[in-house]
Amino acid sequence: MNFEYNQDQLAIQEMAKNFAETEFAPYASEWDQNEIFPVETLKKAAELGLAAIYVNEKYGGSGLSRLDAAIIFEELSRGCVSTAAYLSIHNMVTWMIDSHGSESIKEKFIKRLSTMEIMSSYCLTEAGSGSDAAAMKTSASRKGNSHYVLNGSKSFISGGPTSDVFAVMCRTSEDGANGVSCLLIEKETKGLSFGKQEKKMGWNSQHTSTVNFDNCEIPIDNIVGNEGDGFKIAMKGLDGGRVNIAACSLGGARAALDASLSYAADRKQFGKSIDQFQATQFKLADMATELEASRLMVLRAAASLDLKDIQATKYCAMAKRFATDICSDICNEALQIHGGYGYLKDFPLERLVRDLRVHQILEGTNEIMRVIISRKLKGN
């Protein structure tokens, strides 16, 4: 077991760090306050191979590992958690097509997704079936041998009307989870519409809306995998998504810790800097320890995906539950160290607290993570 990054990983880390510092961090506050979706900046990230990180190089992907991706998303999130998180969702869709799509569908979509000529959204959640994804109502029926007709709606969709292609999990039969399929819907499809842009607590640099389907005709070739494979594809995607979102929490918490170390060294109270008070020292020590523990869990989970470990789903759920809870706490402690200044938008702390809070909800709530872990402990 080696706890050090190899030379390639160090180079990848440095690349992501530099990009975050120059292209994300200086603009993150503006994007947040003005709800700007930084499409052009995301395309710059794509030029570095960050839109198809663990996708086959044959189609324009970077051919990297899940461990590499975790390193990348931690570094990007130090610059802007919200924008890095959208990039992780886009990567999930690109990976689904690469891993389960036909040759024709790969040729049609992946090269354009890898450059972010087109942007993508992942559509699983519905208003009436959040954590119970298998209970979804959105459905598609066959129209001859050429098309599916899709009806229904999906909620809380990152990308919303800004995206160009939507990976939609929908019911193609009544066989429970085995009746779910994955269809790719393109933006110009007749009957596709969007709800209002949601006003959110955080994640404001990515637009979020409901996506509606009213008799949308989808070419039958736009299915990812086979009919009935959708739920399995969705769950595999969520394993990776949970690691990525946990890695985004690491980056946010690390940014909060770095800001706290700097602030505590400069801030004077009672004639000395506050980092000389044991109360502050203990807070900083706990934050650093908890961040390191979270990172180890995230990297273990990422490595388990690369190794195709049979326990990967458990490790991913554990990492997501632990890291998103703990890193949210770290950001909250960092705000406390900053006192009243931490509550101001002039400082990054309040944004980090808001952006990390949703990580405990999406990609499966942390309560659902506990259900998954407990089932795996029983051998289910």
CB neighbour list of residue 99: distance below 8 Å, 6 or more residues apart: 233, 236
Asked if residue 90 lies in contact with residue 112, where contact means CB atoms within 8 angstroms, the answer is no
Name the 3-class secondary structure at 214: strand
Distance CA 312, CA 300 (A): 9
Cβ distance 366 to 321 under 8 Å? yes
Strands (E), 52-132: 120-123
Can you list the alpha helix ranges (DSSP code H) found in 278-348?
Answer: 278-306, 312-338
Instruction: Please give the structure tokens belonging to residue 191.
Output: 């009957």
Q: Hey, which residues does 171 pair with through a beta bridge?
A: 139, 180
The Cβ of residue 146 has, within 10 Å, a number of other Cβ atoms equal to 11
Active centre residues (catalytic) = 363
Angle, helix 349-357 to helix 230-266, in steps of 10 degrees = 160
